[in-house]
C-alpha cells in the first residue's frame, strides 16, 4: 500500500509503526527538529507512533504523502510531497538523522521526491524552503535546481516555538 520510491541507496515508503522509535530519536534531536516547520521538540515515541497511524490512515493516491526513508533497512530520515492548501503549489520537505548528515542523502531523497511530484502527481512546479541558519539545506535545494523566489520570509518552527528567517525557492519541472 502506498507509494514506494527507490533511489540508489534509499527506499522511501509509507511509515510503519516499527519506524516510530527511529523517527522519535533522530527527528526528535533539536538540531534536526528546528529545521522543520511542524515537528515539536521534544518529540516522544508516542507522538511518532500517532503520526505514523494518522499518516497511514490519511494517505490516498494523488494526495499529500509523508514517507519514511530507509537505508540498509534502517530508517534514517523522512520526507514528503504536500500542499499546504488546496490551491497551493506542491512542496517538498525532508529531514535526515544527524548520524547520516554530509553523505548526500538529502539530495538523493530530494531527487526522488521531485520525481514523484512530476511523474505521479503531474505537477510542473514544486516549491521548498529552508531556514536561514540551515545553509546545508539551501545547498541541497540549489543542487536540485531550485531558485530563490524573493528576499525571504519569517516562518514558524514548532521546535523553536516561534518564527525564524526562511528562504523560499521554486523549481520548474
The CATH number for 150's domain is 3.40.630.30
- Contact yes or no for 126/117 (Cβ under 8 A): yes
How many structural domains comprise the chain? Answer: 1
Q: What pLDDT was estimated at residue 91?
A: 98
Average pLDDT rounded to a whole number, residues 36-62: 96
| Predicted TM-score of the model (pTM) | 0.96
CB 82 within 8 A of CB 58: no
Mean pLDDT of the 29-54 span: 97
Averaged pLDDT, 71-92: 96
pLDDT at 14 over 90: yes
User: Is pLDDT above 90 for 151?
Assistant: no
Q: Hunting for cell 505537477 — which residue is that?
A: 123
Which residue range(s) make up the domain with 91? 4-172
The span from the CA of 2 to the CA of 13, in Å, is: 7
- Give CA–CA dist 127/85, Å, rounded: 13
Specify the pLDDT at position 61.
Answer: 93
CB 14 within 8 A of CB 59: yes
pLDDT at 150: 85
Amino acid at each position: 500500500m502506498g507509494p514506494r520510491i527507490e533511489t540508489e541507496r534509499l527506499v522511501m515508503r509509507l511509515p510503519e509503526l516499527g519506524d516510530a522509535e527511529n523517527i522519535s530519536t533522530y527527528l526528535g534531536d533539536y538540531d534536526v527538529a528546528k529545521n522543520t516547520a511542524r515537528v515539536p521538540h521534544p518529540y516522544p515515541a508516542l507522538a511518532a507512533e500517532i503520526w505514523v497511524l494518522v499518516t497511514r490512515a490519511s494517505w490516498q493516491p494523488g494526495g499529500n504523502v509523508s514517507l519514511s526513508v530507509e537505508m540498509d533497512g534502517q530508517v534514517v530520515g523522512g520526507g514528503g510531497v504536500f500542499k499546504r492548501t488546496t490551491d497551493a503549489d506542491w512542496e517538498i520537505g525532508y529531514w535526515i538523522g544527524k548520524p547520516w548528515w554530509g553523505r548526500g542523502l538529502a539530495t538523493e531523497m530530494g531527487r526522488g521526491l521531485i520525481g514523484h511530484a512530476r511523474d505521479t502527481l503531474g505537477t510542473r512546479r514544486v516549491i521548498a524552503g529552508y531556514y536561514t541558519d540551515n545553509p546545508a539545506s539551501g545547498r541541497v535545494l540549489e543542487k536540485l535546481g531550485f531558485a530563490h523566489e524573493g528576499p525571504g520570509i519569517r516562518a514558524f518552527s514548532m521546535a523553536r516555538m516561534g518564527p525564524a528567517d526562511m528562504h523560499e525557492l521554486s523549481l520548474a519541472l
